[in-house]
């Protein structure tokens, strides 16, 4: 019991973690849950039930094999036509350098992705040369080529599809930076932006810190939803998964086949965010261990009192050590 109490103090188990639908084991990530169900050394009972009634995308256990078949067809997304959209962008047919959303139909959540060309003597320095922003309905809000402030020494055409002529008359970096900043803040001062009740937009992406750094933009971390850093989507080693892997494993289609399109990345990250956001978890008054009102998960627990609790009672007072995206749906 002493070991169990110590484990609960440092594990931050909660109802927001991925949980096995068979044995109710709490896992730190969906990758860990996947290993528990179908990995090299799965729990055999859980594996047997999952093989018959489990969705391989969201890892949910359904009532019957037929219910699983119907659910899995709905759970799998179809890919966007990346080849077509890339050709359209090369011809300038999808460039949208003006952000014309009015307040009445302005999106609260947007996804951003950049594509980089190379700078420096060896072409290894990332320079933003193309940026795309989409809304929750996969509509393009903003898309433009960006003219870097440094000389481009490697266009990385094999993956970016960008040629010198695409950047010759492209929007200057400072201009693109200002437009994106104004759109994200929506007229609200940076210090005043907050997830609930404010006008600033929630920003979704993969590797957002890097993209914003290359755009020379600052944005509050509380407003960023990064699929590369969200604990349930990370590896069991706590390293980031690639967006290509996350899309294939949890959405059911392939991206980054040939030339990479930032629109394709925006759609994938928004779909991942939406899937995580609409998970049904127990509503708690103070869902995070860091909330000052919570004294659970802390050394302040009285050992003799906690040792009298059952595991379920311990779990009921335990709180998560990360912000679960399902809380965005309550805003």
Token output for 263: 């629109």
pLDDT tens digits for range 227-253: 999 999 999 999 999 999 999 999 999
Tell me the average pLDDT of the chain: 88
DSSP sequence for 30-71:
HHHHHHHHHSSS--HHHHHHHHHHB-TTT-PBPSSHHHHHHH
The model's pLDDT over 161-220, given as tens digits with 9 standing for 90+, comes to: 999 999 999 999 999 999 999 999 998 998 889 888 888 999 999 999 999 999 999 999
Cβ-proximal residues to 312 (8 Å cutoff; 6+ apart), any chain: none
CA distance 4 to 79: 45
Do 98 and 143 form a contact (C-beta atoms < 8 A)? Answer: no
Dist. CA 127–CA 15, nearest whole Å: 41
pLDDT over threshold 70, residue 297: no
Q: What is the Rg, in whole angstroms, of the alpha carbon atoms belonging to the chain? A: 22
| pLDDT-derived band at 149, boundaries 50, 70, 90 | very high
pLDDT in tens, 298-328: 445 566 777 788 888 888 888 889 999 999 9
Rounded to whole angstroms, what are the CA distances from 24 to 8, 15, 241?
16, 10, 25
Compute the distance between CA of residue 216 and CA of residue 305 in angstroms, rounded to an integer. Answer: 52
Which residues does 45 contact at the CB level (< 8 Å), separation at least 6? 22, 23
CA distance 255 to 114: 15
d(CA 230, CA 34): 16
What's the pLDDT at 96?
67
């Amino acid at each position: 019991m002493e070991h169990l109490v110590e484990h609960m103090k440092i594990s931050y188990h909660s109802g927001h973690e991925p949980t096995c639908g068979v044995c109710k084991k709490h896992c730190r990530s969906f990758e860990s849950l996947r290993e528990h169900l179908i990995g090299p050394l799965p729990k055999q009972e859980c594996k047997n039930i999952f093989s018959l009634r489990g969705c391989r995308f969201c890892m949910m256990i359904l009532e019957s094999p037929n219910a699983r078949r119907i659910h899995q067809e709905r759970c799998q997304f179809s890919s966007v036509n990346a080849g077509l959209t890339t050709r359209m962008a090369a011809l300038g047919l999808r460039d949208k350098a003006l952000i014309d959303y009015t307040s009445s139909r302005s999106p609260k959540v947007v996804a951003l992705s950049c594509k980089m060309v190379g700078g420096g003597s060896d072409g290894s320095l990332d320079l933003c040369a193309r940026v795309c922003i989409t809304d929750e309905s996969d509509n393009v809000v903003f898309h433009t080529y960006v003219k870097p402030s440094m000389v481009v020494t490697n266009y990385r055409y094999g993956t970016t599809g960008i040629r010198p002529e695409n950047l010759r008359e492209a929007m200057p970096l400072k201009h693109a930076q200002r437009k994106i900043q104004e759109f994200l803040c929506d007229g609200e001062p940076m210090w005043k932006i907050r997830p609930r009740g404010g006008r600033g937009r929630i920003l979704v992406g993969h590797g957002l810190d890097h993209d914003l750094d290359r755009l020379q933009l600052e944005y509050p971390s509380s407003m960023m939803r990064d699929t590369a850093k969200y604990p349930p989507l990370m590896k069991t080693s706590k390293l980031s998964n690639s967006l290509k892997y996350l899309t294939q494993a949890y959405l059911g289609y392939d991206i980054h086949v040939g030339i990479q399109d930032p629109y394709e990345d925006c759609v994938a990250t928004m779909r991942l965010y939406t899937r995580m956001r609409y998970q049904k978890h127990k509503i708690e008054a103070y869902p995070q261990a860091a909330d000052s009102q919570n004294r659970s998960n802390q050394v302040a627990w009285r050992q003799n009192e906690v040792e009298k609790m059952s595991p379920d009672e311990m779990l009921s007072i335990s709180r998560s050590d990360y912000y679960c995206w399902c809380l965005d749906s309550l805003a």
